[in-house]
Structure 1
């Protein structure tokens, strides 16, 4: 009986030793860690991305104050001032289009309708396109040219006043 008991104990010890030997094998798996940028993105910025601006942005050059959307604010305002006798139907400062209805200029007898396109942020003649219509068709080229000149002159005046402030 002692022999059976000794054999059971020996076999049990062999099984325990075998199992402990299996569990102590070293693993060669690599551990995946996140990079510092991924940690900053996920934990610090909450997935919103790094901030667009920093403290050092105060030393950078400022964008042109003469821009409204993608158009020049001086030409935009001058167009509305010079053609203030025309009723405004629609304005879109992002595309730069001003559309008016028919109106008669002070001291004139012909009714005009205008569509103005301010296509560039520069205070330049190429930034302004004016289309004038009368009730009988397109206005003369000299009238369109005179209106463009008046708008550009007024835009330069507004800019001069704005730069003095």
Structure 2
């Protein structure tokens, strides 16, 4: 029983010594946490940014809910789904709906002879051509012609409009 208490005390002492060292300051100081002149000037000008710029963090920051509750996904669902529909002959390798990026693997289009791969980036919540970026490559890694790329973008935009009309029963 006595040995167990010694082990617990040793673990606590080790943690007490190791945790301050994680911050880079060490147990007995090291780097100063006092703000420099530029930081104090910035804090007085923009107090709302002072917490973000301070750079100070601790283990307890892991347990706080510091996420912005007003964060929304900025991807148009019709462009996203239309991209998946139009390029359904290609296997999806990666998809991230928060950034709007879909990475497709090599696939042969119906009636086509060559294999292509694509990366689609939906960057705007509006159903607009400016929010859609498609990059196509052939098997050799060379980009396809701009006409082919624009034809795929037009097909995706057309399908996105169809999905929106279908969704709203227009």
What TM-score does the superposition give when structure 2 sets the normalisation length? 0.56
Deviation at 1:141, TM superposition (A): 0.6
Shift of 1:83: 0.1
Output the aligned Cα RMSD: 1.8
Among candidates 116, 122, 128, match of residue 112 of structure 1: 116
Gaps of 5+ in 2: 1-68
- Segments of 4+ in structure 1 off by > 4 A? none
Choose 1 or 2 for highest CA Rg: 1
Residue 82 of structure 1 and its aligned partner are, at CA, apart by 0.2
Shift, 1:110, TM fit? 1.0
Secondary structure, aligned partner of 2:148: helix
Whether 2:161 is the aligned partner of 1:163: answer: no
1:129 aligns with 2:129: no
Q: Select the structure that is richer in strand.
A: 1
Give the whole-Å Cα distance in 1 for the aligned partners of 2:153 and 2:88.
Answer: 14
**Deviations 1:110-147 (Å, cap 9, x if unpaired)?**
10000000000000000000000001211111100000
SS of corresponding position for 1:71: coil
Paired position in structure 1 for 2:78: 74
**What is the number of equivalent residue pairs in this alignment?**
100
Pairwise CA distance, 1:70: 1.1
